[in-house]
Structure 1
């Protein structure tokens, strides 16, 4: 019985980001043990940007973002704060770039601050001169920080 109990709690606490709740804001919210996050990626470049988003558990696939287009996904951060999503960005006339779009350090430093168990967000803005991160899209550039260049 102890083994079954341990196995149950192990599975509950080690499932960090699956299943992904790929739903628009305002729809069904997941119950999270730690915090619920929504990550947004906005493209404000004239050229389309292809982004491939992955984690250790989930592959969200390729998404082509046209000018003023966005991609977003929601998930529960695990209780150990080791949830990680990374993305590959590709655009014509630039070198492909890959970096973490969500990890605990980035979320604490640049994401929305709120109490445990509430909705939090992290916003990425893709521009010609690089990648900006913040808790809101506006006002730009006051609340956004440039973290990466296209030549990263």
Structure 2
């Protein structure tokens, strides 16, 4: 019976009609039983890029980002800390990339806050030289770590 009550309380806290808060995430306040994250993907190229972000439970859709535009979302991380979001990128139809934009290999590069009501933040910067992650939106290259490259479409 205690397990059932725990499961019920867990589902109440982690399930709602819209688990993904679109915008604005920078000032979003949400109470999560575990970590609350806000992820930003910025286009730092003159050409537009196409981005599709998905998780096991959510498809955030296809988006075209012009120079300095961003795609962002926020979410509560699951109890097992296995939440995983991945993104597919396309640049001019000639270059692509697909990789995890949130998991525990990227979080060491992000800004973890210890306030349970404010989001920890992770910023991605898309450049013609590759994909960079950082804890703040700072001028390039200060604080950015390159994690991925573009692939040529064959």
Per the normalisation by structure 1, the TM-score is 0.87
Is the counterpart of residue 115 in structure 1 residue 114 in structure 2? yes
Is the counterpart of residue 78 in structure 1 residue 48 in structure 2? no
**CA-CA distance at 1:23 after TM superposition:** 2.1
Distance change in 2, residues 1:119/1:68 (3 Å) = same
RMSD of equivalent CA atoms? 2.2
* Number of residue pairs aligned between Structure 1 and Structure 2: 149
With 82-91 and 137-146 compared, the bigger mean Cα shift is at: 137-146
- Aligned partners of 2:13, 2:98: CA distance in 1, in Å? 28
- Aligned partners of 2:115, 2:34: CA distance in 1, in Å? 6
**Which stretches in structure 1 are left out of the alignment for 5+ residues?**
none
What is the match of residue 136 of structure 2?
A: 136
Contact 1:13 1:79 in 2 (8 A): no
**Which stretches in structure 2 are left out of the alignment for 5+ residues?**
none
Is the counterpart of residue 39 in structure 1 residue 35 in structure 2? no
**Matched ranges for 1:1-150 at <5 A:** 2=2, 4-9=4-9, 11-12=11-12, 19-25=19-25, 27-92=27-92, 94-107=94-107, 109-115=108-114, 117=116, 118-150=118-150
- Aligned partners of 1:71, 1:25: CA distance in 2, in Å? 11
Per the normalisation by structure 2, the TM-score is 0.86
After superposing on structure 2, the runs of 4+ consecutive aligned residues of structure 1 that deviate more than 2 Å are 1-4, 9-15, 25-28
**Deviations 1:64-116 (CA, angstroms, capped at 9, x unpaired):** 00011111101111121111100000011532210000012311x10003215
- Aligned partners of 1:89, 1:51: CA distance in 2, in Å? 5
- Aligned partners of 1:60, 1:128: CA distance in 2, in Å? 24
Contact 1:111 1:123 in 2 (8 A): yes
**CA-CA distance at 1:11 after TM superposition:** 2.7
